[in-house]
Every structure is written in structure tokens, then in C-alpha cells.
Structure 1
Amino acid sequence: MTTMPQHTAPTGHAHEHGPRLPFAELVPDFYRAMVRLDAAAAKDLDPTLYHLIKLRASQINRCAFCIDMHAKDALAEGESVERIVQLSAWEESRHFYTERELAALALTEAVTVLTDGFVPDEVYAKAAAHFDETELARVISAITVINAWNRIGVTTRMTPGHYVPGQYRK
């Protein structure tokens, strides 16, 4: 009798391999600057909104490490499992989110994907209607920083599953 493997992934997927390199150890100054940039982006931004932005961009970018981290952080800070589960289909699950969150999620998608090379005016205008200029700048900052982190995580194949909420906070 033969047994099936527990989790077989198609060839070439990241979890077949370990991390490619110890990024933070190799470029500690850059890594510390990214951590400071992340903290600056989060300053005065609603933590619930910040988690949604980080998690949604990470889903779009398929950064498993960041999805794991930000889902765990959001849950630890009181976010509901239901809202996290529905986030990948937020447009069909709008009733789980506030209008303000929906505007930030739409902006997150537009900035992350940049399908047509720009952020559509209607997406920007909707976000601008829900946030004052400083808040909107912070939302854009948060989206920018998580996209940078996602690119590091995906490129270096950071391994998900081992993160403990709050692990990287000082």
C-alpha cells in the first residue's frame, strides 16, 4: 500500500526551498532603515487599518511570510478571524468593513498593482474623501512600505509559520 505525501507543492514554489539568504544580517543598515520607515508610516495611523493595508498588499504580492506575520499581529490586537478571512475578497464582502477601510483597501490595491501604470482618479478621490491630507499621506506611506517589505520577503523566500506576534517590535 502506498501513501500520498502530506503536502505536495508544484515544482518551483517557494516553500519547497528554504530562505535564499539572511537579508537582515547581510544588509543590517538597510534593514534597520526599513524598520524605522515602517514605524514612521504607522505613526498616528489607526492600527486596525494599518493591519488591513499590510495584509491586503501582502496577499496581492503573494508574500507568505508577511501574510503570516500581519494576520497574527492583527489577531493579537483584536481583529476578527472573519474579517481576515474575507479580506482577499473584500469587494464581495464589503459589509465586513467600514467605508473608510474600503477606501484604503481600494487604494492599497491600486498602488500595489499599478496595472495601468497609475492610480485611478476615482480611487484616489474616494480615499481623499475619507482621510484628511495627513492621514492620506500616512496611508500611502503604509502601502509603499509594505510593498517594499513584500518584495524583500518574496525575493529572499522568507519562510512563513514561525512568527510570533510582536516579535520584531522593540
Structure 2
Amino acid sequence: MTTTSDHATTTAEYAPEHSPRLSWAQHAPEVYQAMIRLERAASGQGLDARLRELVKIRASQLNHCAFCLDMHTKDALAAGESVERIVQLTAWEESRHFYTEKELVALELTEVVTVLTDGFVPDEVYERAARHFDEAELAQLIAAITVINAWNRFAVTTRMSPGHYTPGQYLGL
């Protein structure tokens, strides 16, 4: 990258991009196509597109999935989400004033479903979510959280490389 100012030109040397370990979509096309169908089903009626993207971004942050972070931040921006709210997701508990109560319980549910090593999904978290989402919405929210966690695991394990995604490029959603 080259930047210029009134006084100098500097070039930043970035680390080389890593290569993916495996093209799992190529080698397991039936699984990939099943994931696409599952993604489409989980992206169906019932949830606001921006909320769904916030959930996908938060789960991807927790799972350290750079590929999915690249994809879903771009998709969130394309859906009209603000840069500020995306940036604040890593500290949503201390940035609560950026989100609605419904979004906050969705983020809380996302965390407990994503980080199952901390134990089961606590009743109080589920009950808070159930107060803000009707049963159909809650089912779609749980589906969205579950599906992004599956995508994260494929992408992290195979080291899919971020930075090349254009909104709608892979799934046509």
C-alpha cells in the first residue's frame, strides 16, 4: 500500500496472505451445497437482515473467523448497518446504548450458544430472548446462530482467506 502526503510517500509492507489449506467446497460439494441450502433456510422469514448480520459478525468474532468477519461486515454494511455499531460489537456489553433491547438479547444468546464450553445455554438468557422474539423468530435466530457457527468451523479449519468477498458473491442471498 502506498500513501502520499505533502512531504513524503511511504509504502507499508503487509504480511503475506496465507493460502487456504483445503478447498472443502470442491472436495465435499454435497456438504457445501447442503450448507448453502441450510443457510438459505436459516435466512428465511422472521429476522431483520441487519440483526442477522450482527449475530453472524459476533459469532465470527468469538470464533476468530477472519473470512466470515470479512463477509458479514460487508454484508451488514450493504444491508444498511452502520460502521459504528459493527465496530462496537466486540464490546457490546459496554456499548449497550448502540443497540436495541432485542438486539442485545440476540447478542447475548449468540454468545452462549457459540461458547458452549462455558456450559449449557442458561435458562435466564433463553427466557430473555423468548420475551423479545416470538417462537418463529426465536427459532430463526437459533438457526442463524447455529449455521454461522458451522460456517466458522469450516472456514477456520481450512484457513479460508479474507479480503476477497463481495456482498452476495457466494450464496446469492
TM-score (norm 2): 0.89
* Residue number in structure 2 paired with 1:29: 30
Output one character per residue of 1:33-75: Cα deviation in whole Å (capped at 9) or x when no partner.
1011011111012101110110100000000000000000110
The percentage of aligned residue pairs carrying the same residue is: 69
- CA RMSD after TM alignment: 1.5
Tell me, in whole angstroms, the C-alpha distance in 1 between the residues paired with 2:58 and 2:107: 7
3-state SS of paired residue (1:115): helix
Tell me, in whole angstroms, the C-alpha distance in 2 between the residues paired with 1:121 and 1:136: 14
* Residue number in structure 2 paired with 1:108: 110
* Residue number in structure 2 paired with 1:151: 153
Q: CA deviation at 1:121?
A: 1.1
In structure 2, give the amino acid aligned to 1:113.
Answer: V
Tell me, in whole angstroms, the C-alpha distance in 2 between the residues paired with 1:30 and 1:114: 24
- Counterparts of 1:14-25 in structure 2, within 5 Å, are 17-25=18-26
3-state SS of paired residue (1:29): helix
Structure 1 unaligned blocks of 5 or more: 9-14
- Counterparts of 1:7-86 in structure 2, within 5 Å, are 7=14, 17-44=18-45, 45-86=47-88
Tell me, in whole angstroms, the C-alpha distance in 2 between the residues paired with 1:71 and 1:116: 26
In structure 2, give the amino acid aligned to 1:29.
Answer: E
* Residue number in structure 2 paired with 1:12: none
Q: Tell me which stretches of 4 or more aligned residues in structure 1 moved more than 6 Å.
A: none
Structure 2 unaligned blocks of 5 or more: 1-11
Q: CA deviation at 1:16?
A: 5.8
CA contact (8 A) 2:17 2:161 kept: no
TM-score (norm 1): 0.90
Tell me, in whole angstroms, the C-alpha distance in 1 between the residues paired with 2:140 and 2:151: 16
